[in-house]
Amino acid sequence: MAKVTTKIKGNKNFAKAQTTIILNLADRQIEGIARRTEVVIKDKIAERIEREGSTKNLANAFTTVQITDGWGVGDIAFLNQQAPYWFWQNFGKAQSGRTTPPRSRGQFRTGSPQPIAGGGKSRWNQSSTGKYLINPQKPIEAKNYIQATLNEVNQIVSSIVRTIKL
């Protein structure tokens, strides 16, 4: 293969200017990828809702954030504060490793307020003054919304890189 050498005369700042342009383009593309990934993970969470009356709190806790050297989706500290069950819902276990939820007081939101196996399609409203005590015996099924989103990242990257150009 032939060796090619290029010399640029007259503009000493050319390399610096080109580097700036490339870094700006890359930052715009990475931000676009993160923003599209946020939309996809919210869709994956919505697809996996099993009980009526979702507050969308879990999906809304996944946001695009600027980090030191780029962009990301889902600040773990924010998720732990706003939706502390995010890990449990995604992986089917608590961050401590526990696989079944703890006992709690409360009642179901609709239908029969008292606990029944599985709870039907209604949500459990936890309350320290709740009339009923539940003692879950069955592990929460992992929803794997993070992996489902990661499965689409290559498509997201291709799409964004094609649309965001110089």
Whether pLDDT at 150 is above 80: yes
Whether pLDDT at 153 is above 60: yes
pLDDT digits 0-9 by tens, 105-125: 887 776 666 666 655 667 777
CB 90 within 8 A of CB 142: yes
How big is the chain, counted in residues? 166
So what's the pLDDT on residue 59?
96
CB 34 within 8 A of CB 71: yes
Torsion of CA 142, 146, 149, 153, to 10 degrees: -140
52-78 mean pLDDT: 92
So what's the pLDDT on residue 166?
75
Is residue 10 very low, low, confident or very high in pLDDT (cuts 50, 70, 90)? low
Assigned token pair, 100: 């079944």
Q: Cβ contacts of residue 86 below 8 Å, gap of 6+? A: 58, 61, 79, 80
The CA angle 118-120-121, to the nearest 5 degrees, is 125
The CA angle 131-135-138, to the nearest 5 degrees, is 140
